[in-house]
């Protein structure tokens, strides 16, 4: 009996996978445009958005961004120079430094999220129940 990974996906699954790819590509394009409005690269914007939620150590940022810690250091350096991020001692382990969004960084991150037109506009065409169903399905996919 073939394993599930070796069988061909059904046409509906393939269509859903393609649609997810299209949505992700459009989201990243819109994200890059929103970042550029703040003179940020996409990577800088993503890092700032993460830090606006909570301070994180460099290693954790690298994991979340799926890049090398040395890349994260450079991005944090550039955001720090603009006053959007600061380094602080980790309250749990003072030997470790965490990066944290400044008040201005949180404001810019909020503006970035509000500037994402691609996802917001189509979602307004869905009912409350449809948006909740979509949210719940996406959470299930993310957590699987």
Cβ distance 112 to 80 under 8 Å? no
Q: Where are the domains of the chain?
A: 26-143
Binned at pLDDT 50, 70 and 90, residue 132 comes out as very high
**Phi and psi for 127 in degrees, rounded to 5?**
-70, 165
Question: What CATH fold (topology level) applies to the domain 26-143?
Answer: Arc Repressor Mutant, subunit A (1.10.10)
Cβ distance 109 to 52 under 8 Å? yes
| pLDDT (tens digit per residue) in 15-44 | 999 999 998 898 888 889 999 999 999 999
| pLDDT (tens digit per residue) in 44-74 | 999 999 999 999 999 999 999 999 988 999 9
**And the tokens for 81?**
């120079």
Characterize 114-130 residue by residue with b for buried, 16 or more Cβ atoms within 10 angstroms of its Cβ, and e for exposed: ebeebeeeeeeeeeeee
Q: How many whole angstroms separate alpha carbon 27 and alpha carbon 30?
A: 5
* pLDDT > 70? residue 82: yes
């Amino acid at each position: 009996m073939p394993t599930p990974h070796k069988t061909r996906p059904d046409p509906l699954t393939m269509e859903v996978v393609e649609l997810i790819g299209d949505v992700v590509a459009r989201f990243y394009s819109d994200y890059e445009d929103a970042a550029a409005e703040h003179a940020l690269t996409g990577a800088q914007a993503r890092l700032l958005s993460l830090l606006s939620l909570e301070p994180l150590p460099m290693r954790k940022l690298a994991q979340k961004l799926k890049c090398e810690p040395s890349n994260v250091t450079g991005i944090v350096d550039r955001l720090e120079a603009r006053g959007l991020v600061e380094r602080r001692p980790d309250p749990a382990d003072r030997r470790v430094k965490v990066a944290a969004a400044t008040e201005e960084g949180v404001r810019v991150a909020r503006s970035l999220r509000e500037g994402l037109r691609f996802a917001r506009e189509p979602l307004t065409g869905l009912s409350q129940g449809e948006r909740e169903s979509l949210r719940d399905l996406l959470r299930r996919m993310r957590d699987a």
